[in-house]
Amino acid sequence: MKSLVGVLSVGVMSGVVAAGALVSPPAANADTVAYLVNVHVRPGYNFPNAEAAIGYGQSICDRVSAKMGYSELVDQVKADFHTTDYYQAGYLINQAVNELCPAQIWQLRQSAAGYTPF
């Protein structure tokens, strides 16, 4: 009986592993709607319209793709929005990369490694 249970367990686990191999993780796709909900409606950025919000987010993606340093990127966003609030700038950068250009997340993380806002 013990060996039958062992064989059945191995068979079931093999089926689970095989099924898992057929399911791949979802591809990183842009989610413009999520970006707009998170930044266009949020106070503090005052984008005149959705197109301006998306355009600014895409400019962040372009800067990350060009390997701009995180510190410089934060400083530029703070200057663009006339704020000294790191969290406001960091939030916008995070939303842009996560929602508009998720393939750049790794590049942003590498650039931000060791960064301290204070």
- pLDDT per position as a tens digit, 65-77: 999 999 999 999 9
Q: Is the pLDDT of residue 28 over 70?
A: no
Predicted pLDDT at 115: 84
How many domains in the chain? 1
Predicted pLDDT at 30: 77
Which strand (E) or helix (H) includes residue 19?
helix 2-22
Does 107 fall in a domain?
yes
Name the band, by pLDDT with cuts 50, 70 and 90, for residue 8: very low
The span from the first CA to the last CA of the chain, in angstroms, equals: 65
Tell me which residue range forms the domain holding 106: 32-112
Does 1 fall in a domain?
no
- pLDDT per position as a tens digit, 31-88: 899 999 889 877 788 899 999 999 999 999 999 999 999 999 999 999 999 999 999 9
Does 18 fall in a domain?
no
Could you tell me which of 18, 112, 7 has the C-alpha nearest to residue 70? 112
Could you tell me which of 51, 2, 29 has the C-alpha nearest to residue 99? 29
Does 51 fall in a domain?
yes
**CB 10, CB 84: distance < 8 Å:** no
Burial class (CB in 10 A: 0-12, 13-18, 19+), 57: buried
pTM of this prediction exceeds 0.85: no
